[in-house]
A and B are shown apart, each in its own frame.
Chain A
């Protein structure tokens, strides 16, 4: 009960735009798109993996990427090397989405994984992305499935629905369409330049910006069975 009271008071104590998960004002990781996002155990040793890291930064900022060694803490991991020449930027509202690609090879030890009754196991990778003095350590996992237990390839695809018009309103509904042909379990995440999102995990929810002007609206969806990742973004002009 004491812990519950602390939970209550923690939520009561929360305040400020800078503390809201969905509001981006500095370097912020959005997700990783892995190709492939899962591999069967049989095919895993030596399988090449390409990982596209997506982050959001304020407009005109630039990023760098470097290896993040997790091998000491994570016995089942593989090293990835970022390629700075693959860094690209897409301006969205007052932010920009930056992408960088890193690649690696799954270790031979993947063939010896003891699944212990579960059907999949994550082999981990790490990368650090920097924007000036800000940095994000990103540690994700490529899924290795027991032979014969691999799911169907995910066709997950998210897009922000139209219309998103805040030219006459200071708050309004936002919605995303999600194509999910394999009915995979998924998780949605909304990101914005400012304000509050009522439920950042819902496909349809409400956004209350707290400043006017051009702003970014970003939604991501990740498949919880396959590790798939999809993203959609839009520039919204708030009155």
Chain B
């Protein structure tokens, strides 16, 4: 009461009313009952003179318009807090007053309010520069020895061009080519790696043009990458596993984003909330490079050259987490195409251009659900179907493929005591396909003339069942964790079955962990190699044994170090030297990896990844060992990003790798029957090496915050060469000159994205 009286007396004073002051300055002390009575009279007078005002304050986050609850609102020493909806009703009898609003993660906001003129006030708090104190922890389902898990936020910062799907290119154990979107992992070829979106195996995960993954980053939550020694849940692959994980948490509000990436694409994405458990997601992306490239080529003098690359993708899904687990219906679509016309061709017309056209697309429709069955049992179902088309035409040689495949993936988990689990999985599938070919049949004959060889028309219809069953366990014995697994696969095309046992483990020694994995991995030969018309239907499965030994430890709470030794032995690799496909090839890849990672804190992030490896092949019995085409002795990546303020961020990446191998030329001769020069490859396969490859990429990102939306600007340059960026060797028409074929010049890009 005394405080209120004093406060009111001050107010009266400042308003030119000195009633209380005169009363307070009376030299004589009044009796208590008289003083209290007089104070009440003063208060009544003050209240009659200065009515109570209310100002409705609303505190929202700048850029999203999301309510900021528990924001501290201070008027002088008095503090109050906004409610869950960011609202607070301020009341008083004063005139203008100073307000200070603050909340962890936001900049302090100060303002002055005149309650005579302001009844409602909405304040937008600006996010502050993130601290370096919070480390983002990632959960790893089924921890594996060589698995790396990255959030989309991390992957976007580190990946080439900011496309999270490309992050695997800068992880240890990976060899990549500057023009390639797929990766070679620990000596395995790009076609040996398994590419998935959640449980869905897709024909490809990346658009060849622009090296962009087929899903927008807004739809993704994590990227998982295993370079080897993975569990029995993955089959028909001897390389690694790249898995894009979609978001499973219900968004708290509807949001949209619109992106323009020059020169590559335009995109739109939205998450529409139905209620707190259900939402719909839609994303569309379309390339723009096909509209820019023709005019660029014309400026470069390439009037006779026509190059039209294009791509597009669509994702849409309905998700429901009301049961506590995710239920989702999803549709994915991706298309890629290239039209090419190059002068100097072989057509009979005067124009004489080589014409090439290719179109590839696929549709994937899927459903997934998790059910808790009780008594520790749970069921995961993920049926899906894919339809793939590939249509190509090269100077009249046509190949068209259509494949439809249905998968009925199911997984049952039984929780045992503690954290132990048993898992059983089934992956039956059925494939129907059609191949239409009207093309020349290439022969390994120096007198074979592709310009004049007759075409052969073939139509092949295929339908095959495939199946796999697998079982795995996660067993804890104190500090020892073991994960045995067994996978059995059967191919209706090969009419053969195969069994792949696997075992991995981790042993905690204080803060350090020692880990190992050993296992068998099998893969079907490529379809064309198994073809009854063009290939050898008696081929066997390609096999690979993986051996991994590793050690990891955290350093303080922000760094981790992971060292691994690996060895892979391949047998039954399919080779074709004499026009006949045979399982005659063998390969061995050995190496060492180091991965030093600065965990993502919202301020600073980065890593160093180094791989040393040797991969050697033997192509057939009696052949001598030679470097494999996937041999890259040293691969080094150093990358990082730093948030300079709440609005600016910068980052960069240095990539260095040993040059790729290729086979030199031992002799050249002119063939008068075909009017062409033919080079004889050296008897020593892969006996030469391109120069080492070193590039630098940098980016900066600026966020402009508006009340309810954010504009992101990302500027970057990919591939600033530090020396020659050789990706191949090319020869003139008679092989008398060789010249390094270097990669594209540094590609600057600018991406503008509006997030609503």
Contacts and interface: CB of A to CB of B under 8 A. Distances in A.
Interface of A: 1-2, 4-13, 18-21, 29, 31-32, 68, 73, 122, 124, 126, 136-141, 185, 187, 189, 198-202, 204-206, 220, 222, 224, 227, 229
Contacts of A126: 669
Contact of B672 (A31, A185, A198, A201): A31
Pairs of residues from A and B, 10 with the lowest C-beta to C-beta distance, nearest first: A199-B352, A1-B208, A137-B669, A32-B672, A29-B670, A140-B672, A139-B669, A21-B733, A11-B342, A19-B732
Contacts of B302: 12
Interface in B61-80: none
A128 to B, nearest CB: 9
Contacts of B346: 199, 201
A52 B667 CA distance: 23
A138 B449 CA distance: 16
B379 interface: no
8 contacts: A2-B181, A8-B342, A9-B179, A141-B447, A198-B343, A200-B344, A201-B345, A201-B348
B672 A202 contact: no
Nearest to A189: B675
B336 interface: yes
Nearest to B342: A11
A198 B351 contact: yes
A190 to B, nearest CB: 10
A220 B675 contact: yes
Nearest to A74: B446
A138 B671 CA distance: 6
Nearest to A13: B741
A7 B338 CA distance: 12
A224 B454 CA distance: 11
Contacts of A6: 179, 727-728, 741
Nearest to B452: A224
A10 B348 contact: no
Contacts of B675: 31, 187, 189, 220, 222
Contact of A185 (B343, B452, B671): B452
B668 interface: yes
Contacts of B744: 9
B733 A19 contact: yes
Contacts of A137: 667-670
Contacts of A187: 449, 451-452, 674-675
Given A8-B307, A29-B670, A199 B452 contact: no
Contact of A2 (B179, B345, B673): B179
Nearest to B311: A1
Contacts of A10: 730, 741
A1 B669 contact: no
Contacts of B728: 6
Query: Which of B668, B671, B675, B737 is most buried by chain A, counting CB atoms within 10 A of its CB?
Result: B675
Interface string B43-73: 0000000000000000000000000000000
Given A5-B179, A141-B673, A198 B356 contact: no
A199 B350 contact: yes
A4 B356 contact: yes
Contacts of A222: 672-673, 675
B92 interface: no
B451 A201 contact: yes
B545 to A, nearest CB: 29
A139 B671 contact: yes
B305 interface: yes
B374 interface: no
A202 B352 contact: yes
B358 interface: yes
Interface residues of B, number: 51
B673 A140 contact: yes
A220 B177 CA distance: 42
Contacts of A7: 340, 342, 356
B347 interface: yes
Contacts of B344: 11, 21, 199-200
A59 B132 CA distance: 77
Nearest to B445: A122
Contacts of B510: none
Nearest to B360: A1
Interface string B718-742: 0000000001101011000100010
B97 to A, nearest CB: 66
A202 B352 CA distance: 7
Contacts of B446: 139
Nearest to B454: A185
Contacts of B732: 18-19
A184 B447 CA distance: 18
A76 to B, nearest CB: 11
A2 B352 contact: no
A29 B669 CA distance: 10
B358 A122 contact: no
A199 B349 CA distance: 8
Contacts of B741: 6, 9-10, 13
B691 interface: no
A122 B194 CA distance: 45
A1 B335 CA distance: 12
Given A2-B177, A29-B670, 16 more contacts: A4-B208, A6-B179, A7-B342, A8-B338, A11-B305, A12-B302, A21-B344, A29-B672, A31-B672, A138-B670, A187-B451, A198-B343, A198-B350, A199-B345, A201-B451, A220-B675
Contact of A13 (B180, B182, B338, B730): B730
B733 A2 contact: no
A141 B741 CA distance: 34
A202 B349 contact: yes
A205 B672 contact: no
A204 B350 contact: yes
Interface string B324-343: 00000000000010101011
A126 B744 CA distance: 41
Interface string B672-694: 11110010100000000000000
Contacts of B737: 18-19
Contacts of A141: 447, 673
Nearest to B670: A29
Contacts of B342: 7-8, 11
B71 to A, nearest CB: 52
A68 B667 CA distance: 12
Contacts of B452: 185, 187, 224
Interface string B361-394: 0000000000000000000000000000000000
A5 B208 contact: yes
A210 B459 CA distance: 49
